[in-house]
Amino acid sequence: MKKPLILVSNDDGITSLGIRHLVETMKQLGEVIVVAPDSPQSGMGHAITIGNTLRLDQTDIYGPEVKAYKCSGTPADCVKLAKHHILKDNKPDLIVSGINHGSNTSISVLYSGTMSAAIEGAIEGTPSIGFSLCDYGHDADFSHTLHYVKAIAAQVLKTGLPKHTTLNVNFPPKRNEPLKGVKICRQAHARWQEEFDQRFDPNGRRYFWLAGNFVNFDKGEDNDEWAIANNYVSVVPCQFDLTAHHTISILNDEWEIEIE
C-alpha cells in the first residue's frame, strides 16, 4: 500500500528540537516532507508575506530520505508554498505542526504560528494537527509526548477529521508521574494581561518590551488548561470560522439602526 504523505511544519524554525522529534515520529507513519521557517516565527499568528520576497531553499538537514525546505516566510506561508508550489497536485494526507516549544492552550491559539500552520491546512481541506509542549525551558524533555503524537496522528490518518477542522494538542511538561491520558476538551476562558515595560536604548531612544501574566478565569474541568494542570494531554478541535452564530439572531432582534 502507498504510504500516506505527511507535511511537517512549525513556527520555531527548521532546526528546532521539537520539529526534529516530530519528523522522526512521522517517518514511522508515512512519507514525510518538511517545509518550515528558516528562523523562529513564534507569535506570528496567521500572518502571510505580501510585501516582501519569499525565499525557499532545499536542505538535507534531515538526511536523504526526507525532502526538506527552509522558507523565509511565516508558518502559513510554508503551508501555502508546500501546497501550491512544492506538492502542486500531490495533496498531503496529513499536515502536522510543531512540536512547539511552549504552550498554545486557550487564547494563545490565536497568536500561535504553530497552530496557524495547522489551520492553514484545514483551510485547504487537509486533516491537520498542531502539537505543543507546555515547557519553555531550553532543556525541555519531549520524550513523554512522542507516543501520543504518533497515536493521535495515526488516528487522524485512519478516521480523518470533519472538514475545515484542526486539532490543537498540548502536552504537560515532563513530570515524575506518567501522563494520565487524553482529554478531548474546549478552549479555556483565559487570556494574557499584558504590560509594556518602557526602556531606553544606549542612545536614549525609548522602546517597549512586552511582558505580562497569563490569567485563567475558567473554573471548569472540561477545558485545556484544566487538562494540562492535571497531567492530561489536551485535544481541542478548532475551526477558522469565527462567526458568533448565536449573536446573529440577537442583533437581528435588537438592533434598530437609523440612517439619517
Q: Binding site, residues?
A: 11-12, 42, 100
Contact yes or no for 140/193 (Cβ under 8 A) = no
**The one-letter amino acid at 104:** N
Q: Could you tell me which residues are annotated as the binding site for a divalent metal cation?
A: 11-12, 42, 100
What CA–CA distance (Å, rounded) separates 73 from 87? 17
Q: For residue 128, how far is the Cα from the chain centroid?
A: 10
Cell numbers linked to 74: 511565516
Contact yes or no for 234/185 (Cβ under 8 A) = yes
Main-chain phi, psi angles of 229, to 5 degrees: -65, -25
| 247 Rama class: left (phi>0) / alpha (psi -120 to 50) / beta | alpha
Q: Is 123 exposed, middle or buried (0-12, 13-18, 19+ CB in 10 A)?
A: middle
Q: Give me the residues paired with residue 212 across strands.
A: 194
